Structure 1
Amino acid sequence: MTASTRLEPDSDPSVARPTRIRWAIVILLFVFYTINSVDRSALSVALPFIGDDFHISGTVQGIILSAFFWSYCLLQIPGGLTVDKFGPRTVIGIASVIWGSFMALAGFAANAVMLVLSRIGLGAFEAPFMPAASSLVSKWMPPRKRASGVTLIDSGAPLGAAVGGLVVAWLIGTTGSWRVSFVIIGVCTVLFGLGAWLYLRNRPSEHRSVNAAEVALIEQAEDEQSDRPGVSRANVIAMVVGRLAWAMVFWGLVTWGPSYLSAARGLDLSALGFATFLIFSCGAVGEILSGFLADRLQRRFRRNVAFKMLFGGSGALSLVALVALPFVTDTAVAVALLCIGVFFNLFGGLYWTIPSMLAKPSNVGIVGGVMNFAGTAAGIVVPIAAGVLLDLTGGYTAVLVFLAIAAAVYLVGSLSINFAGTTRTEPARA
């Protein structure tokens, strides 16, 4: 072979070992979503201090917690459309700088109204992140690894709540101010967003560190999935109901969980930070595990069977934990039950596999936006509903019953989804 015809190792997919930049992209998005979730959950940890400073009732605190979701929900579908039109890299880069700025501005709020406005801005620009991340996974990961990839990224939500509990509690204790804590977190978000924009690319072929073998591995697998029929109306309805109810449980625990542990279980700031970290770390582990289980079970069972096994266990066991919680008097047992409930509830992160599983490649962003619109709608309702129930009843039992009902609806909705995406018989896995 002459010098002019000799192939470089990276130019021949049959010779070169594929690079693994796809996993670097997934890990970067996971870290960024963790930061994203620290931003949104910081308020929950700081709320007892904010409530004292502003002298506000439980209902007003619920409105402040809910404000993030007003814009976050309304901009899910526009955010998904924006991702499909301009590409996920551009959207993530611009949005992260702006939402980090709103996070920092929250530290300068003089009253509840200003805090609400800052939360609306935060929600507006965090809205496109997961549709963008889901779109990137559909372009960067082979189909049989997408469940692992997307649940690893989405596990940043509970991990952010967990880390946020420790970080915000530590920052408040160190600086003596929830305001300074918010400014520090916001500045860190802006800096990380700029770094992520520099590294991310919309497709593997655009990234200079990806070799031809990795591009071929991903694109060949994508070609095998190019005949996806699209999401049926029945699947959309089931997906919306299931995601809405799942999010009622998750956001209910994220927004009111720290206050419940403080007021109903008597935890001080240090214990509250540790308990929050422990509970939502269990959720992150559960979500990551669900992705690997989904990829493995699909090799042994039909996809529809594999996902219904996972969602069935998730809904049933998170329901049991919530039902048992009001009957427990020991604080350590209550925290353990919350750990179990959140661990299995976060199997619901598998919902993010649905857009890339069933939708056509050009519609992954919008399907993800529709799905997350349903989930974030719950974020609007549940903080206010929980605050009202708390004011009306004077305790958290009614709130826990409300969340248990939501867990039951999540179970039914999830089991109603046809994960095969079509009525034709799906071949059995070897």
Structure 2
Amino acid sequence: MAVTLAEDGEKKNGFKHFLLESQSSKMLSSKEGKTLWSRPLARKWFAVLFLGTCLLYCARMAMPICAVTMASTFHWTKIDTGVVLGGFFWGYCITQILGGYVSDKIGGERVLLMSAISWGLIIAVTPLLAKLSSRALFLMTAARFLLGLLQGVFFPSLASLCAYRVVKAERGLLMSTLSSGTYLGTLVAGGMKSVMLENYGWEHLFYWIGFLSCLWAFLVWYFLVKGKDIPEQKRMTSSSHQSNTQWLSYVKKPPVWSMIIAHMCSASSFYILLSWLPTYFEETFPTAKGGVYNTVPWIAAIPSSLVGGWASDFLISKAHPVAYVRKLMQFIAMGVPVVFILPMAHSVTLTTAVTLITVTIAAATFSSGGVSVNVHDLTPTCAGAIYGFMNMMGALSGVVTVSLSGYLIEVTQTWATVFSLVALINGTGLGIYMFLETHNASTSTNTARSLLSKHMKTFD
């Protein structure tokens, strides 16, 4: 993809970053082939990573979907609930860059497994922490912080694996498949919550998710990692010094920042909906069945995510410029939600609310063919670190927006401000992304070649 994008960028007098990355990718291609998974092995990893992202989101969603019950048990206000839920993102942002950087060095497989075992244990002991002291608010916030800290390395590790182990023609499919796993995890968590609350209690949801996460990590280690030779990814770079500093040089470039800003806004709006939708439906439609609003949007998101990844790869295979395809996918992912989330600021029926939210979330999944995979186009040699930085920025914005949403609900006593906030974030992020990309397209070819010549000196 990076080479195709570079060629398109040169023809259209722009995208100096694509040119830089495509040339460095060509020089590394012979080494890169040694680290790629074979097709049978790739299929196995696609399946287990899909299941891993499913369990990741089961663990992440356990507290949000139990928030109403836990708030009643521990006597939390909306502000208290927002603090607890937002605690996840404080931890989540800390380990993003570290997780991607280490994955680029030693292989994402090892980092993924260590992460899964750790978050499985912390989610399993969360109910026990709540019973240790009367300070449940502090302990639950701490538990969410630790969960975020341990899950923070997961997606940067996936980005690193995608760049180093997967052929370019299948990267869009992998990222959309993993994205669909997150929505399945949300769906499964919602279904498990209904069963557990009715028959056992909210604590058992945490126990089961923790057990399954640890079991997944053990099985992956035993069947796919134990005794296997995992190539160290640092061998793909031309020098240790370049490996240590390359990702920092990319972060300074406007094209990368356009991608980061779009990711931040997309992540912020998604985190708001992920954290507060269960509470919105339970309070607004108290007689409705949770199996409907906790499942329908996420069922629709699974095929939608796959369609987004497939559509982006299909358009690129038909010789459409990669930059154009990424912008189109991101326009759908952020523009459509603006249109469909704004009516939620008014009084609507349950059917209308579920329909609007379903379309909003389904459209947002097209980001898997946009900025989520754009990092592999621009910076394949340090995709883990760059993606970690993107996710860190997205997590920081999530800390602010999730907590801000709780404050707005408590102060205004209405959900209208929250949905308006989601629309504003999406619209602003999309506008900045399109403006920066248009500005980048006007960069002259001479400037691109000059920067390319300077950059290539590092390989001499």
Question: In the alignment, which residue of structure 2 is the partner of 1:292?
Answer: 310
Question: In the alignment, which residue of structure 2 is the partner of 1:106?
Answer: 126
Q: Which residue identity is paired with 1:258?
A: P
Could you tell me how far apart the structure 1 residues matched to 2:402 and 2:111 are? 28
Q: Is the contact between residue 164 and residue 380 of structure 2 (CA under 8 Å) also seen in structure 1?
A: no
Q: Answer yes or no: is 1:171 the counterpart of 2:196.
A: yes
Match 1:283 to one of 298, 301, 307: 301
Q: State how 1:133-212 maps to structure 2 within 5 Å.
A: 133-175=158-200, 177-200=201-224, 206=230
Q: Answer yes or no: is 1:335 the counterpart of 2:360.
A: no
Q: Is the contact between residue 27 and residue 153 of structure 1 (CA under 8 Å) also seen in structure 2?
A: no
Q: State how 1:226-305 maps to structure 2 within 5 Å.
A: 233-268=253-288, 271-300=289-318, 301-305=320-324
Match 1:127 to one of 149, 152, 158: 152
Q: Is the contact between residue 311 and residue 415 of structure 1 (CA under 8 Å) also seen in structure 2?
A: no
- SS of residue matched to 1:20: helix
Give identity over the alignment, percent.
21
Q: Which runs of 5+ in 2 are unaligned?
A: 1-37, 237-246, 449-460
Per the TM alignment, residue 98 of structure 1 is displaced from its structure 2 partner at its CA by 0.9
Per the TM alignment, residue 348 of structure 1 is displaced from its structure 2 partner at its CA by 1.8
Q: Is the contact between residue 261 and residue 267 of structure 1 (CA under 8 Å) also seen in structure 2?
A: no
Per the TM alignment, residue 19 of structure 1 is displaced from its structure 2 partner at its CA by 4.1
Per the TM alignment, residue 58 of structure 1 is displaced from its structure 2 partner at its CA by 0.3
Q: Which runs of 5+ in 1 are unaligned?
A: 1-17, 208-218, 220-227
Q: In the TM superposition, what whole-angstrom CA distance separates every residue of 1:385-414 from its partner, at most 9, and x where no partner exists? A: 111000111110111111110111232244
Could you tell me how far apart the structure 1 residues matched to 2:315 and 2:39 are? 26
Question: In the alignment, which residue of structure 1 is the partner of 2:93?
Answer: 73
Match 1:384 to one of 403, 410, 417: 403
Q: Is the contact between residue 166 and residue 277 of structure 1 (CA under 8 Å) also seen in structure 2?
A: yes
Q: Is the contact between residue 246 and residue 407 of structure 1 (CA under 8 Å) also seen in structure 2?
A: yes
Match 2:339 to one of 313, 320, 333: 320
Question: In the alignment, which residue of structure 2 is the partner of 1:394?
Answer: 413
Q: In the TM superposition, what whole-angstrom CA distance separates every residue of 1:295-323 from its partner, at most 9, and x where no partner exists? A: 00112211111121121122211110111
Question: In the alignment, which residue of structure 2 is the partner of 1:344?
Answer: 363
Aligned pairs, number: 386
Q: State how 1:370-381 maps to structure 2 within 5 Å.
A: 370-381=389-400
Deviates more, 1:65-74 or 1:307-316: 307-316
Identify if the C-alpha distance between structure 1 residues 417 and 149 changes in structure 2 by more than 3 Å, giving closer, same or farther.
farther
- SS of residue matched to 1:376: helix
- SS of residue matched to 1:395: coil
Q: In the TM superposition, what whole-angstrom CA distance separates every residue of 1:107-146 from its partner, at most 9, and x where no partner exists? A: 1113121111111111111111111111112223221221
Could you tell me how far apart the structure 2 residues matched to 1:416 and 1:42 are? 38
Per the TM alignment, residue 29 of structure 1 is displaced from its structure 2 partner at its CA by 0.7
Per the TM alignment, residue 417 of structure 1 is displaced from its structure 2 partner at its CA by 5.9
- SS of residue matched to 1:329: coil
Q: Is the contact between residue 107 and residue 230 of structure 2 (CA under 8 Å) also seen in structure 1?
A: no
Question: In the alignment, which residue of structure 2 is the partner of 1:408?
Answer: 427
Could you tell me the TM-score, scaled by structure 1's length? 0.84
Q: Is the contact between residue 166 and residue 274 of structure 1 (CA under 8 Å) also seen in structure 2?
A: no
Per the TM alignment, residue 205 of structure 1 is displaced from its structure 2 partner at its CA by 7.7
Q: In the TM superposition, what whole-angstrom CA distance separates every residue of 1:337-386 from its partner, at most 9, and x where no partner exists? A: 1000000012123322122211142x111011011112212221122111
Could you tell me how far apart the structure 2 residues matched to 1:385 and 1:360 are? 35
Q: Is the contact between residue 171 and residue 181 of structure 1 (CA under 8 Å) also seen in structure 2?
A: yes
Q: Which residue identity is paired with 1:310?
A: M
Could you tell me how far apart the structure 1 residues matched to 2:427 and 2:260 are? 15
Q: Which residue identity is paired with 2:65?
A: V
Q: Which residue identity is paired with 1:279?
A: P
Could you tell me the TM-score, scaled by structure 2's length? 0.78
Could you tell me how far apart the structure 2 residues matched to 1:280 and 1:406 are? 21
Q: In the TM superposition, what whole-angstrom CA distance separates every residue of 1:253-294 from its partner, at most 9, and x where no partner exists? A: 1000000111123354xx223312111222232222110001
Q: Is the contact between residue 231 and residue 358 of structure 1 (CA under 8 Å) also seen in structure 2?
A: no
- SS of residue matched to 1:194: helix
Could you tell me how far apart the structure 1 residues matched to 2:150 and 2:94 are? 11
Q: Which residue identity is paired with 1:186?
A: G
Deviates more, 1:48-57 or 1:140-149: 140-149
Instruction: Considering fraction of residues, name the structure with more helix.
Output: 2
Could you tell me how far apart the structure 1 residues matched to 2:436 and 2:225 are? 32
Q: Is the contact between residue 264 and residue 396 of structure 1 (CA under 8 Å) also seen in structure 2?
A: no
Question: In the alignment, which residue of structure 1 is the partner of 2:13?
Answer: none
Question: In the alignment, which residue of structure 2 is the partner of 1:116?
Answer: 141
Q: Is the contact between residue 304 and residue 363 of structure 2 (CA under 8 Å) also seen in structure 1?
A: yes
Per the TM alignment, residue 240 of structure 1 is displaced from its structure 2 partner at its CA by 1.9
